[in-house]
Amino acid sequence: MTQGSSTGNDNRLKLYSILLNNVFGFDMNILNNLTLRFRLTAGLTAIVALMAIVVVINLIQINRNNELTTKMVDTQAPLVQESLKLKSGIDASLAALRGWMVLNDPKFRETRKQIIELEIMPALTQLDALSTATDPEASELLLGISQELENLMGILKRIEDISHTPDNIPAQSLFTDKAEPLAEIMSSKIAKLIDLEKYEPSDNLRKQVLVNMAEVQGTLGLTIANIRAFLLTGDQKFSNKVDVYWLRNNTRFQELGMADTLFNAEQLDEWKAYVKAHRAFRKLPDEIIELRQQDDWNLANDWLANQALPAQEKLESLLLELSNKQEGLQQLGATRIKENSQEMITTNWILLGIGALLALIVGMSVTRSVLGSIRHLSETIMKVEETGILYLRASVQSKDDIGSAGQAFNNLLTSWHQVIASVNEFIDHLVSEVSHSLDSNQKTLTTMREQRQKTKSIANALSDLQNNINQVAQNAEQAASISDQADNEARQSVRIVEETRQVVSALSSELQNAHHEVDKLAQDSAEIENILKVIQEIAKQTNLLALNAAIEAARAGEVGRGFAVVADEVRTLSQRTHDSVFQVQTTIDKIQSRIVSVVGSIDRSHNCMESTVEQTGATEASLKRIAKGITTLSTMNSEILEAVTHQQSVTTHINSNALDISDFADQTFEQAEQAVQAGEGLSNLSIELKNLILKFQLQETDLEGAQQSLITPATETDIRETCETISLHNEPQATEYKIQDEEPEPLRLSA
């Protein structure tokens, strides 16, 4: 199977070589003279260069796409977005303006102001900022947008300012400022005329005058009402009614003018005022209707329809044109990005094909130049490993690293050949030396066994002696410790007795002092008793004085009642003093009796203390003699302990040396056993090494002749005799020491 695979590989390599020679004109034999490192580096460099070209091309295409994407994202899309935002702001501003115009609610003006500040102006600012980053055509459009927006904002501002002002609707202003005040004057004057007419005598002519007055008043009101309706609606029917009613009013006015001779003085004044107002009012209805019928009757609506909306449409057309252009540029940029991406994909596929072809060429060249040499070298190594034939050599056909490795392998085989020949000679000599060494080791082992037993006996005896000495030392140490403790206790007892004697003496002195103090206390109590007697006499005299005072107060009657109360209180106080003195006298008597008892106790205690001091002195002398004897005994125990300790140290040192000798004997015995085992192992290893050496073929001639010519190996008979000798040496010790459990297997020599 290996040979067939090798043949197939050779055929493929030859086919690759022919292909490269015929197609590319490249001679594969040139690679045989190049190093493997150079070939691999050159192939890798070519692939890396191709990858670098691919990366550079991709980076160029990606850079183009990034430029287009950046332009779309940073300029074109924001332009479209800000245009839409500006358009939305303008629409919202117009809606807020319409709300203001219709409802007159200030919140719509505030809303429009916020829309301008938060939507329109930021969008315009952003468009101005983006105009510098785009093409000139867009810049021109942005300039036109700015101008149109400024124009539109001005128009809307004028509309906002004029809305809900008198100037917004001239007809309404004329009606409010002139017509309506004059109509009120006329109505009030004609009403006054009617009121004054009811006081005049009635006849047919005056009745007709009154009817004309009433009709003038009614047609004036209807004229004003229809003017208001026409101003509000602009309906022509209200204008026609104004003409009809105002014509009738003028007719009745003329008729009243013809009858003004019938008016009294007061009516005449009212009539003159009416005539004056009527002349001023006469042309106003026609003027109001004419102003209302004009197209610009409402200036805000007219400006909104004829100025603001066209400006808005123009501005929105510019914004739409800008958005369409930017969207077209975005679509064009997206198309370019798509084309660049497709071009980059196509280029990558082309370069991928070139890279694959280059990798194929590099792979075939490296395979052709490297694998062939490696295969030949591998086959040679495997054959040497399988057969052990050392005269084989690898075929070296190139000067590269693999050729150097093949040459080194050939040199290695030559070195092995020489080494194995030398090792074979050495093994024969080693077998002989191992046999003699094994015999000597067995004799040494027997001697060491006897020495180890005697050493152990000596060590056991010394160990018993050391144990006895240790027991004596321990007892001596305990005796010394007890003596020291007794000495310390005796000294402490002497010190305690001496301190007790001193304390008893001090206590005796204190008792003597206490006796003197108690005597002084008895004297003081006697003095207190004398003082109490004096106080008792004073209390008796005070009681008598109080009694006399009470008697005198009783004699004095009502005048001496207060003094009697005082005398009674003094007598009560005197009685309480007498009782207290009696109680104190009783207490002092008890104290004096107890003082006498205490004095007796102190005298008895003093006598006992003196007796105790004498006994304590005798005890102290006895304890001092005992302490001296214990000190002498402790000194003797210390000397005994020191001698026993020295003997224990010497015995311990001797026992330690004996144990060391026993350990050394055990170690020597173990080393002897190990030496015997090592000798047996060395014998086995030499036999196995001999078998391994015999597996190698050193020449192409017959193996037996080659062995006889190159080395002189031991025969099978020699090896068996050596093994039997080793076994005989091992048999006597088999019962005590297990040096080798079984005999070595017999050698099977191919020779």
Same domain, 342 and 447: no
pLDDT score recorded for residue 512: 76
- Helix (H), strand (E) at residue 353: helix 309-366
Q: Which of 297, 318, 335 is the last residue of a domain?
A: 297
What are the counts of helices (DSSP H) followed by strands (DSSP E) for the chain? 19, 0
pLDDT score recorded for residue 740: 37
pLDDT at 71 over 60: yes
Q: What would the pLDDT profile of 452-507 be if each residue is shown by its tens digit?
A: 677 777 777 767 777 777 777 777 777 777 777 777 777 787 778 777 777 777 77
Same domain, 96 and 112: yes
Same domain, 135 and 179: no
- Which stretch of 434-438, 498-502, 628-632 has the lowest confidence by average pLDDT? 434-438
Tokens 């013809």 correspond to 258
Mean pLDDT of 103-118: 81
Structural domain containing residue 250: 170-297
pLDDT score recorded for residue 392: 66
Same domain, 279 and 311: no
Same domain, 662 and 525: yes
Burial of 402 (0-12, 13-18, 19+ CB in 10 A): buried
Residues with Cβ within 8 Å of residue 563, at least 6 apart in sequence: 549, 552, 553, 556
Rg (CA), the chain: 75
**How many domains does the chain contain in total?**
3
pLDDT at 353 over 80: yes
Same domain, 647 and 574: yes
Q: What would the pLDDT profile of 563-614 be if each residue is shown by its tens digit?
A: 677 777 777 887 888 778 778 778 877 777 777 777 777 777 777 777 777 7
pLDDT score recorded for residue 300: 74
In a domain, 624, yes or no: yes
pLDDT score recorded for residue 668: 73
Give the CATH number of the domain where residue 245 resides. 1.20.1440
The average confidence (pLDDT) of the chain is: 73
Q: By the 8 A CB rule, do 230 and 238 touch?
A: yes
In a domain, 597, yes or no: yes
- Which stretch of 102-111, 504-513, 733-742 has the lowest confidence by average pLDDT? 733-742
- Which stretch of 124-133, 185-194, 719-728 has the lowest confidence by average pLDDT? 719-728
pLDDT at 656 over 80: no
pLDDT score recorded for residue 488: 78
pLDDT score recorded for residue 133: 53
pLDDT at 368 over 80: no
In a domain, 716, yes or no: no
Give the CATH number of the domain where residue 506 resides. 1.10.287.950
pLDDT at 652 over 60: yes
pLDDT at 12 over 70: no
- Written in H, E and C, the secondary structure of 660-721 is HHHHHHHHHHHHHHHHHHHHHHHHHHHHHHHHHHCCCECCCCCHHHHHHHHCCCCCHHHHHH
Mean pLDDT of 214-227: 90
Does the predicted TM-score (pTM) go above 0.75? no
Q: What would the pLDDT profile of 289-301 be if each residue is shown by its tens digit?
A: 888 877 777 777 7
Planar angle of CA 278, 281, 285, nearest 5 degrees: 130
Same domain, 645 and 539: yes
Q: Which of 343, 367, 391 is the last residue of a domain?
A: 367
Q: Which residues are registered as beta bridge partners of 578?
A: none
Mean pLDDT of 645-654: 74
Percent of the chain at pLDDT exceeding 90: 2
Q: What would the pLDDT profile of 661-717 be if each residue is shown by its tens digit?
A: 777 667 777 776 777 677 677 777 777 776 776 666 666 543 333 333 333 333 444
- Could you give the CA distance from residue 682 to residue 430 in angstroms, rounded to a whole number? 9
From the list 675, 670, 711, the residue with the least C-alpha distance to 690 is 711
* Rounded-to-5 percentages of helix, strand, coil across the chain: 90, 0, 10
Secondary structure (3-state) at 296: coil
In a domain, 593, yes or no: yes
pLDDT score recorded for residue 542: 80
In a domain, 736, yes or no: no
pLDDT at 151 over 80: yes
pLDDT at 107 over 70: yes
The neighbour count for residue 564, using CB atoms within 10 Å, is: 18
Q: What would the pLDDT profile of 386-401 be if each residue is shown by its tens digit?
A: 776 666 666 666 666 6
How far from chain centre, in Å, is Cα 323? 49
Same domain, 154 and 68: yes
Percent of the chain at pLDDT exceeding 70: 72
Query: How many Cα atoms sit within 13 Å of 693 on the Cβ side?
Result: 26
Same domain, 411 and 475: yes
Per-residue confidence band for 226, with pLDDT thresholds at 50, 70 and 90: very high
Same domain, 354 and 477: no
- Could you give the CA distance from residue 233 to residue 242 in angstroms, rounded to a whole number? 14
Q: Which of 275, 297, 319 is the last residue of a domain?
A: 297
Per-residue confidence band for 736, with pLDDT thresholds at 50, 70 and 90: very low
Which amino acid is residue 398, in one-letter code? S
Give the CATH number of the domain where residue 359 resides. 1.20.120.1730
Same domain, 483 and 572: yes
Q: How would you label 337-368 residue by residue, b for 16+ Cβ within 10 Å and e otherwise?
A: beebeeebeebeeebeeebeebeebbebbbeb
C-alpha distances in angstroms, 690 versus 277, 430, 712, 715?
159, 11, 11, 10
DSSP assignment of 151-209 equals: HHHHHHHHHHHHTTSTTT-HHHHHIIIIIHHHHHHHHHHHHHHHHHHTTSPP-HHHHHH
In a domain, 5, yes or no: no
In a domain, 557, yes or no: yes
pLDDT at 732 over 70: no
Q: Which residue has the higher pLDDT, 416 or 145?
A: 145
User: Encoding tokens for residue 729?
Assistant: 């040496």
Same domain, 292 and 336: no
In a domain, 310, yes or no: yes
